[in-house]
Amino acid sequence: ACFSEKLGYSCCKNTKEVVYTDADGKWGVENNNWCGIEDDCWSTRLGYPCCKSTTKVEFTDSDGKWGIENGDWCGIKTTTKTLPNNGN
């Protein structure tokens, strides 16, 4: 699931081309409809952005490793949390 589903729009299945970005996330277009481009960061589904530059772990919980950027929590990307989707 991606952020756009809670807003009534499907997740982009094929496109990764960002047409528009807002506070909710990155948007693409498929079949002439808006769709949400899923960020590859686990924290976005929890309402927090991915850390852009920091790799310093401030806190770790069952979701993952957390850092702080610009005074806000952010998710530190790890390759171990990513599961292959086998093209589905």
Give residue 1's pLDDT.
Answer: 64
Give residue 67's pLDDT.
Answer: 96
Does the reported pTM lie above 0.75? Answer: no
pLDDT by residue, tens only, the chain of 88 residues? 688 999 999 999 998 899 999 988 899 999 999 999 886 778 877 888 888 889 999 999 999 999 999 999 999 986 543 444 445 4
Domains and CATH numbers, the chain: 1-38 (3.90.1220.10), 40-79 (3.90.1220.10)
Instruction: Please work out, in degrees rounded to the nearest 5, the angle formed at the alpha carbon of residue 15 by the alpha carbons of 14 and 21.
Output: 140
